[in-house]
């Protein structure tokens, strides 16, 4: 049942993979490479993608800027980054991974984008994982992600 809510929500959203790019000191744009990404577990890759959001911009495949660095990322954003490295991974696997790794995360429901958004706790020690009991963009509570 929960999966239907998620599928309905993403049915009219861009689900194309996102890649990380970095602006160097001379304003050149370079693609970020995750070495040995195929050796990482899914949880490690999800957390690595969240780590990279702190320092890098998100670009669509047509080179359009999606999000600048240091911004909160939704599960849709994170999944699209994971898909760049592992196209076979589903949004449900990423949702479950985020739930499993909740101790590593801070988060909130963002009223601007109307989505639950995340960052890594290690870059924001004074914040917590808020809004867990609030409904998200899928009409779910965060605890529902455990068994999605």
Lowest mean pLDDT of 34-38, 42-46, 100-104, name the range.
Answer: 34-38
Between the CA of residue 5 and those of 102, 125, 136, what are the distances in Å? Answer: 22, 32, 11
Residue 77 pLDDT more than 90? yes
How far apart CA 90 and CA 15 sit, in angstroms, is 11
Residue 20 pLDDT more than 90? yes
How far apart CA 124 and CA 106 sit, in angstroms, is 8
Residue 92 pLDDT more than 70? yes
Q: Which pLDDT does position 64 carry in this prediction?
A: 86
């Amino acid at each position: 049942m929960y999966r239907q809510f998620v599928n309905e929500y993403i049915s009219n959203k861009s689900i194309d993979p996102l890649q990380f790019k970095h602006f160097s000191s001379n304003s050149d744009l370079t693609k970020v490479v995750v070495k040995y990404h195929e050796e990482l577990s899914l949880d490690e890759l999800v957390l690595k993608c969240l780590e990279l959001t702190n320092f890098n911009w998100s670009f669509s495949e047509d080179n359009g800027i999606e999000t600048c660095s240091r911004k909160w990322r939704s599960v849709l954003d994170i999944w699209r980054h994971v898909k760049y490295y592992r196209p076979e991974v589903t949004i449900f696997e990423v949702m479950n991974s985020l739930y499993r790794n909740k101790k590593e995360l801070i988060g909130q429901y963002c009223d601007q984008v109307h989505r639950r958004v995340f960052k890594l706790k290690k870059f924001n020690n004074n914040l917590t994982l808020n809004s867990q009991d609030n409904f998200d963009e899928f009409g779910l509570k965060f605890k529902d992600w455990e068994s999605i």
